[in-house]
């Protein structure tokens, strides 16, 4: 698995971009851009998220997901499209499918207390939902959120430079952005014969957002679709985050950067009764960000592929396609 990671997915050191000399910084930007034009994924180290903090988050999410379904359902918020709190088993499906994925998850967004009252975006976000049964969930999740959000901002600075934009082009667009930390539990299946034949842990899909930052999962299963049509397995090493392009960034760059289709496959039937945990951070901009294709990404060979739309409009459209909005 690790050999495949290094063959297919470039492994980069974020410290080269943040603290390296101009040559190292430029090399990071070029390698990142080439990877995002080719396969849409990279693995990065020195991202700022300590192993100890990751371990703490895994501990609290395992504690929450071990609660019974009735207790967990108290934290569902369907009226806001499940954008905060718990989403129950099988309620989300991939675009173009009706069969629900074999997973449950929890959404953590911006901490409203940390947004100044003069920022109007504060009024548009629902408050976070915290399970009373797991008191450490809130402080740990919020610390992870802010830490990984900063890593995402650093990655976007490098992406901006690759695109020929000013380094801080994305800064005002992602400040207090509509990002989501999503701990996922791919729950055990005691009787595989009882689930729909086409049910999988996460059907093939592209992410909605600008970029996704994924900390190491508790088990294998993530696969990405290579440009030649072959599915390849991907895993992060203990000190890495896997960072991939989302649909919003692909749209903004008129397909110059690739939002690669990926999935989480079921394990062998004799291992279906084991849990798998995964924690992606979906980095979203503010809802008002204009996702119209960048002018320098449009030419005769690559004409404009997408209609103009804002990030908020695009998100709402996709939530309906996923069955989370009616």
Give Rg (Cα) of the chain.
Answer: 19
If one counts every other C-beta atom within 10 angstroms of the C-beta of residue 308, the result is 11
- Mean pLDDT across the stretch 225-234? 85
Q: Are 35 and 46 in contact (CB under 8 A)?
A: no
The residue assigned the tokens 């990142």 is 32
The torsion defined by the Cα of 262, 283, 11 and 226, in degrees rounded to 10, comes to 20
Q: How many CB atoms within 10 Å of residue 127?
A: 14
The answer to whether residues 87 and 76 touch, using CB atoms and an 8 Å cutoff, is yes
Average per-residue pLDDT in the chain? 90
Q: What is the DSSP letter of 67?
A: S
Q: What is the pLDDT of residue 194?
A: 67
The percent of residues above 90 in pLDDT, for the chain, comes to 68
Q: What is the pLDDT of residue 219?
A: 59
Q: Which residue has the higher pLDDT, 227 or 131?
A: 131
Determine which helix (DSSP H) or strand (DSSP E) holds 172, and give its type and residue range: helix 171-174
Q: Token pair of 57, please?
A: 């988050």
What's the whole-model pTM score? 0.92
Confidence class for position 269, pLDDT limits 50, 70, 90: confident
Q: Please state which of the four CATH numbers 2.60.120.330, 3.40.50.300, 3.20.10.10, 3.20.19.10 is assigned to the domain occupying 2-321.
A: 2.60.120.330
For 5-19, 180-194, 229-243, 275-289, which range has the lowest pLDDT when averaged over its residues? 5-19
pLDDT band of 204, cuts 50, 70, 90? confident
**pLDDT of 4 over the 90 cut:** no
pLDDT (tens digit per residue) in 85-138: 999 988 887 777 777 888 999 999 999 999 999 999 999 999 999 999 999 999
Higher pLDDT, 319 or 147: 147
At 5 the pLDDT is 40
Buried residues in 59-97 as b, exposed as e (16+ CB within 10 A):
ebbeebbebeeeebeebebeeebbbbbbbbbbbbbbeeb
Query: How much is the average pLDDT of 301-325?
Result: 88
Between residues 287 and 232, the one the model is more confident about: 287
Is the pLDDT assigned to residue 190 strictly greater than 80? no
- Domain map of the chain by residue range? 2-321
């Amino acid at each position: 698995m690790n050999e495949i990671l290094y063959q297919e997915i470039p492994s980069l050191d974020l410290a080269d971009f943040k603290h390296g000399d101009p040559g190292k910084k430029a090399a990071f930007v070029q390698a990142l851009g080439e990877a995002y034009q080719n396969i849409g994924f990279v693995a990065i180290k020195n991202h700022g998220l300590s192993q100890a903090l990751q371990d703490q988050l895994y501990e609290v999410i395992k504690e929450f997901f071990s609660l019974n379904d009735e207790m967990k359902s108290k934290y569902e918020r369907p009226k806001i499209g499940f954008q905060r709190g718990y989403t129950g088993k099988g309620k989300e499906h991939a675009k173009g499918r009706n069969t629900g994925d074999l997973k449950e998850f929890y959404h953590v967004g911006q901490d409203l207390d940390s947004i100044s009252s003069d920022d109007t975006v504060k009024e548009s976000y629902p408050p976070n939902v915290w399970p009373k049964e797991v008191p450490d969930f809130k402080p740990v999740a919020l610390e992870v959120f802010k830490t990984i959000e900063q890593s995402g901002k650093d990655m976007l600075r490098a992406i901006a430079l690759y695109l020929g934009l000013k380094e801080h082009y994305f800064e005002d667009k992602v400040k207090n952005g509509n990002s989501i930390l999503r701990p996922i539990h791919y729950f055990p299946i005691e009787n595989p014969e009882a689930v729909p034949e086409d049910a999988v842990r996460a059907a093939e899909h592209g992410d909605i957002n600008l970029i996704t930052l994924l900390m190491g999962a508790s088990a294998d299963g993530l696969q990405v679709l290579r440009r030649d049509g072959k599915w390849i397995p991907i895993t992060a090493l203990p000190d890495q985050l896997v960072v991939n392009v989302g649909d919003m960034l692909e749209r903004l760059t008129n397909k110059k950067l690739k939002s690669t289709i990926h999935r989480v496959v079921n394990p062998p039937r004799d291992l279906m009764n084991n849990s798998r945990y995964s924690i992606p951070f979906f980095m979203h901009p503010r809802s008002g960000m204009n996702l119209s294709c960048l002018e320098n990404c449009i030419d005769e060979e690559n004409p404009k592929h997408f209609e103009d739309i804002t990030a908020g409009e695009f998100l709402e459209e996709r939530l309906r396609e996923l069955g989370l909005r009616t």
